[in-house]
Structures are given as C-alpha cells and as structure tokens.
Amino acid sequence: TNAETLAHLLKYDSVHGQFGGQVEIVDGDLVVDGDRFKVFAERDPENLPWGELGVDVVVESTGIFRTHELASKHLTAGAGHVVISAPCGDADISVVLGVNDDELDPDIHKIISNASCTTNCIAPMAKVLNDSFGLNQGMFTTVHAYTNDQAMLDSPHKDLRRARAAAANIIPTSTGAATAVGKVLPELNGKLEAKALRVPVPDGSITDLVAVLDREVTAAEVNAAYKEAADGPLKGILRYTEDPIVSSDIVGDPHSCILDADITVASGNLVKVFGWYDNEWGYSSRLADLVQRLG
C-alpha cells in the first residue's frame, strides 16, 4: 500500500470520522502532526530495515505473519519484539491487559500476541466472576460487527455462512475466544464454549456470557463485583454502566469491556452478563498500551 493511500485512510474514516490532526506526505514518508513515519512495501519481513532504524517493537497487523515462525522474520530483520494483533497459538505469550499482563517479561517474551478484541472483552468478564464467585462452567456469544474477512455481496468463501453478504445478514460463525481465555486464565481452561454472530453494523460489538457459578447470587451482587473491579484493579480496562445504551454509544470507547449492568440476570447460581466493546478502538487502545509497556 502506498503512502498516499495510507494518508487518506488515516485522515478519513467511515466509522470514527475525520482525523483532527495534520496528515501529509513528504518525500514518500507519512508525516502526522510533525512526526515522520517511513513507509515500506515489502513482502518478506526479513528484508525490512528494522535494525538500521533502531526499531524495538513491531506491530504485526498484516494478518499474514501470525505464527511464531513467520513473525520471527521481524526479529531476523533487527526488531527487538513483535506484537501480533491477533491470536497466535505458539506465541511466547498471549497477553490480555488487566488479566495476565503481570506474567509479561520483555527479556524473555519476544513474540507476543495481543489476543483478539473478543478475548480482551470476555477475559475480564470471566475473571471477575471467577474471582468473586467461582466460575464452574460457561458459554458465551459474541455479537460482532462485520469485518473485512466477510463479503459485501454473496461470494465464495471457505466458511459458507461468511460467503453471504455482511451488511444484509446475521451470520453465525466460529470464534476462538473460548480457547484463548484458557491461555490467559489457565484456571478456566476447558470451562468455556463460544459462538459468534456477525451482524450488519460496521463497528461496536457485545459479548453475552452465561455462567454457572459455585454459589447462588443475585444480579445486584454480580453488578457490585463488576463495579468494584471497574473502579479498582481493572480501571481503564473495564467500564461499568447502568445507562440503557446501544452499540453506537460505545464506538470510540477505549475500554476493553463496558459491562452493561442494566441487563444483568441471575437465577440461583446461573448468571447472564453482557459486555460491550468497540472492536476497533478498544482493541487498538490495548495494542498501544502493550507496545508502550514493551518500549
């Protein structure tokens, strides 16, 4: 992708609106509010001049180099660390900030997965329930905005449901978020199952978690646990709200999860909780936080 296209897409965004700063191209470089960024177009990451430029952290967001072996090409090119903006089964560590980032060691972990936007939402939700009441078993559904992996019009796709028009259908599909939660919260490994529904909105998603707890609870108790976490150890990661919001209200929200207390349901030891998330802005905020931790 050339610098002109990148500049245009930074300046104008169909969801988040127009960028408020100054964006220009100078001698082939992208310049944003006076900060200069080199632009490269290279198929093999090993050929990128990371060492020459003194690059410590590379964010691997192409969607192509998503294994440890492939992402390591950036290390060969001279980078100090690689953060993959997607799940990676064999990364040195998968990190969800607020959940297991205390295990992150930059001296040891060089290939790091920031997990997925859904995992960054569901992991704090599950952690609060488990820490407060004990989570015996759970199932969740992510009702997710469509993504560029889907087709705008019906067209061939290996997932026949995803072959259908994204903006015209509610599309059931798979998600690896349940397995990913087990990586960042080993005590919940094997206790969660999940499915996804892709829906016709461009941004703004919600996770619906149903869990069997170790004891009986009320909705008020559950909400109190989430509010305490949002005001305390998960501040900046989890937001608690009692407002009757809808998906467009959380677009641009930097939190990983916005717990919607108004629709919490409890019956005995069975509980149902909902967490909103901006699958673009919220996830990108955590990605930036993680890079800052490493840099």
Residue 265: which H helix or E strand, with range? Answer: strand 265-267
DSSP summary character for residue 88? -
DSSP summary character for residue 107? T
Residue 195: which H helix or E strand, with range? Answer: strand 192-199
Q: What are phi and psi of 162, to 5 degrees?
A: -70, -10
Tokens representing residue 228 in the block: 């305490």
CB atoms within 10 A of CB 144: 24
Q: What are phi and psi of 121, to 5 degrees?
A: -85, -50
Contact 32, 47 (CB under 8 A): no
Q: Catalytic residues, which ones?
A: 117
Q: Among 82, 90, 144, 148, which residue's Cα sits nearest to residue 117?
A: 144
CB atoms within 10 A of CB 38: 12
